[in-house]
Structure 1
Amino acid sequence: MTLHAELCRRAARMLSQAVLICLGLALAWLPVTGHASAPLKLRIVGGLAGVNQYVQHEEPFWSQELARLSGGKYSAEIAPFDRSGIPAEEMLRLMSLGVIPFGTALLSAASAQHPMLGAMDLSGLNPDMTSLKRHVASFRPLLQKTLREKHGIEVLAVYTYPAQILFCKKPLASLRELEKRRIRVSSPSQADLIQGLGGVPVLVGFGQMLTHLQSGNTECAITGTMSGNTIGLPDITSHMYNLPFTWGLAVFGANTTAWNALPSDLKALLRKELTRVETNIWNASERETADGLACNRGDPSCERGRPGKMIQIEPSSDDIKLVRELVKTTVLPRWQQRCNQHCREMWESTIGSVPSDIPLPNSR
């Protein structure tokens, strides 16, 4: 079974349960207005629990800063989606339905059902944050238009996690040594690249990653440099390969009906302040990419993580060429197969038009 089929199967299996859970809590997730004199309080579903993006940026903004910035007129409560009984694959759908009026959707998870949304962060496409920023900037207007018109979601921010690299339990000198290794992935695009390298992709959620490595079900895992440190990967893996496979983009948005119902001054405040939060998250993700590497290898420069003893492998020129070739011959063609002709046109008018980027095979 392909990873795409597996993602769809899981989504179908979990949808009924997720809808029942969320519909049962629907009133709790709606804006709370109370009496006319009472402050309006929002209910927010945030990103992954425990990682710095949520702990240091999302949670403080909603639970503390919003009330301060509005002079106590508005406030919010926030909970991470993965501790709220909500499957990542269904977040976009539940936001579209209005079950979750304000939420954070991981685009890697959403891309299983909506391949177009994975275009900005295809595996191997962004070897550095400069590339990622350029691709997001070129695609963002279309992302906003598509989510608003087709899904009824107003995009308020686009977040990124630190670079997602490869952690392995056994030595690794080059990417060609991944052949036949079972590797944790989180998206169809990551699976495409791993298969192109001869590895065996295994779809595993973030919260279950450590268990699968400990049990031997997987030998390696693709995840963020700092998030890997946070959950303890330096304790059970020995080598990390310093080449971003992906980064991990997320969209914070609002159901359009819920958004339009907000007071105009609150909408203006959120537009302004979420732009600041987004900038802070991007800057922090760039710092944490380097700090995660330093902490995993036990470098004295480690600031926020727990020092480990991992061996850091730098990609050779041959490996870099191999990845770029696989993007052209494997990752992009398979993404196009999951998508449609409109996606080809979309690519050519956005990401594919950015100088020095990789064109779709046979594209004009």
Structure 2
Amino acid sequence: MKTLIGTLTAIPLLASTALAQDLPKTEINVVGNLGTTTQSRQLETPFWTEQVEKDSDGAITARFRPMNELGLKGSEMFGLLGKGVMNIATGQLGHHSGQDPINDGNDLAGMSANYDEFEKVSKAFFPILSDYYKEKLGLHLLTLQSYQSQVLYCAKEFKGLTDLKGKRVRTSGASQSDFVAYLGGSPIDMPFGEVQQALQQGVIDCAITSTVGGYTSRWYEGSNYIYDLPVNFGAGATVANGAWWDKLDPAVQSFLTKELDELSAKMWEQNRREDREGIACNTDGPCSIGEPAGQTLVEASDADLKLRRQAFLEGVLPGWLKRCGETCKNAWDNGLAEAAGMSAKAD
């Protein structure tokens, strides 16, 4: 019996080894997301620099660099990918919504209240975005992934969303700007690296970023309040140049698709976990990545949960549809609305 069990246990390993031996030698030029994030350091970087080569028995290797090490800001990533400057890239969808507003589709500010809702919308969005990338941009969508929830950091006393009226708020992307403007705030476009100092100097009153990202960038040195209400979730995507992808051996395509699906699942799991730790690190702990920052935690009221949905329906969604037109109206009516729990057709 032990021999039989041992033999059966070895079958998947032998099959995997055989598959790896059948893979043709392939070198991939990859540009990753912001290298300072825990997601990049702990998951993305070792995936491309170690795991892919190991799992392919040395057949597939990658030249990998995070975008910031190449001096890239983010918004140019998929444009360069389409020109063949790199083979695969991972980037924030919000960075690319200026050129192609459809990129905001699964992560519109105020649409999803939690990770479960965001993941459901992302699954519905995948085939929609995949078709658009293939037909319009010459790109092949590989995976969609998350970051931590995007929350408000404020310098002065903050009790809820109505306090945004008259405030200068650093936003990232058009839908966050629509959200803040609907609530009476003034959206400010500002590079991430300038935010901490701008909060300290009173240039801005509040700013939106992820729970861990704001902590590791020391935003607490310029802010005293953190609001535990997700505005959105910082959606990301891993994408390949379409012409390059189509020329790959089918076995390599299958291998990379499977490996990247597993990486994406790990990213979702990590961000769900780190999201809560980010709140703890910014407030009173416990915090495994540093000392608790001691900010005042502001929890969302039932009234603010309703106001967030109202801001989405009356401010964010109409703004997105106006920027994007028929393409996004069809996407909303034919999948996104239902996934988001909103059955009404877009006007």
**2:248 & 2:327 partners in 1: Cα distance?**
34
Match for residue 176 of structure 2 among 190, 202, 210:
190
SS at match of 1:45: strand
- Aligned pair in 2 of structure 1 residues 281, 181: CA closer, same or farther (>3 Å)? same
- Structure 2 unpaired stretches of 5+: 1-23
Question: How far has the Cα of 1:293 moved from its partner?
Answer: 0.5
Structure 2 equivalent of residue 173 of structure 1: 159
Post-superposition CA distance 1:117-152 (Å, at most 9, x none):
211110000110111011111111111111112111
Distance 2:300 2:344 in 1: 23
1:306 Cα offset (Å): 3.8
* Alignment partner of 2:92 out of 86, 95, 106: 106
Cα gap change, 1:158 to 1:354, in 2 (>3 Å): closer
The match for 2:269 is 283
1:346 corresponds to 2:346? no
In 2, the alpha carbon distance for the partners of 1:306 and 1:141 equals 42
Is the contact between residue 178 and residue 198 of structure 1 (CA under 8 Å) also seen in structure 2?
A: yes
Match of 2:187 in 1: 201
Quote the offset at 1:353 in angstroms.
2.4
CA deviation digits over 1:41-77, x for unaligned, max 9? Answer: 3221101120111111110100111111111222212
- Unpaired stretches in structure 1, ≥5 consecutive residues: 1-37
Helix, strand or coil for the counterpart of 1:149? helix
Deviation for aligned residue 1:210: 2.1
- Structure 2 residue corresponding to 1:319, chosen from 275, 299, 304: 304
Give 3-state SS (helix, strand or coil) of 1:211's partner: helix
Q: Secondary structure of the equivalent of 1:184?
A: strand
Q: CA deviation at 1:355?
A: 6.6
Aligned counterpart for 1:68 among listed residues 35, 39, 54: 54
User: What is the match of residue 33 of structure 2?
Assistant: 47
Task: Normalising by structure 1, report the TM-score.
Answer: 0.85
Kept after mapping to 2: 8 A contact 1:332/1:360: no
Structure-1 residue corresponding to 2:67: 81
8 Å Cα contact 2:228-2:298 kept in structure 1: yes
Instruction: Mark the CA change 1:185 to 1:94 in structure 2 (over 3 Å): closer, same or farther.
Output: same
- How many residue pairs get aligned? The number is 324
Higher relative contact order (CA 8 A, sep 6+): 2
When residues 80 and 260 of structure 1 are mapped into structure 2, their CA distance, relative to the original with a 3 A threshold, is same
Matched, 1:356 2:341: yes
The answer to whether the 8 A contact 2:146-2:233 is kept is: yes
Of residues 234, 237, 257 in structure 1, which corresponds to 2:223? Answer: 237
Answer yes or no: is the 8 Å Cα contact 2:212–2:274 preserved in 1. Answer: yes
Q: Secondary structure at the match of 1:121?
A: coil
1:220 aligned onto 2:196:
no
Deviation at 1:189, TM superposition (A): 0.2
- Counterpart-to-counterpart distance in 2, 1:191 and 1:204: 12
The letter of the residue matching 2:335 is T
Greater CA radius of gyration, 1 or 2? 2
Which deviates more from structure 2 when the two are superposed, residues 202-211 or residues 248-257? Answer: 202-211
The whole-number CA distance in structure 1 between the counterparts of 2:322 and 2:255 is 41
* Offset, 1:165: 0.4
Q: How many angstroms does 1:181 deviate by?
A: 1.3
Find 1:303's aligned residue among 288, 301, 307: 288
**Distance of 1:346 and 1:311 partners within structure 2:** 39
How much is the aligned-residue C-alpha RMSD, in angstroms? 1.7
Secondary structure at the aligned position of 1:155 is classed as strand
Tell me by how many angstroms 1:360 deviates.
5.3
Q: TM-score, normalised by structure 2?
A: 0.89
The answer to whether the 8 A contact 1:328-1:359 is kept is no
> 1:190 is aligned with what amino acid?
Q
* Structure 2 residue 141 is the aligned partner of structure 1 residue 141: no
Aligned in 2, Cα 1:40/1:347: closer, same or farther, shift over 3 Å?
A: same
Q: Which amino acid aligns with 1:66?
A: V
Moved more, 107-116 or 271-280: 107-116
**In the alignment, is the contact (CA less than 8 A) between 1:333 and 1:360 conserved in 2?**
no
**For residue 115 of structure 1, what is the amino acid of its counterpart?**
P
Matched, 1:116 2:102: yes
Mark the CA change 1:292 to 1:75 in structure 2 (over 3 Å): closer, same or farther: same
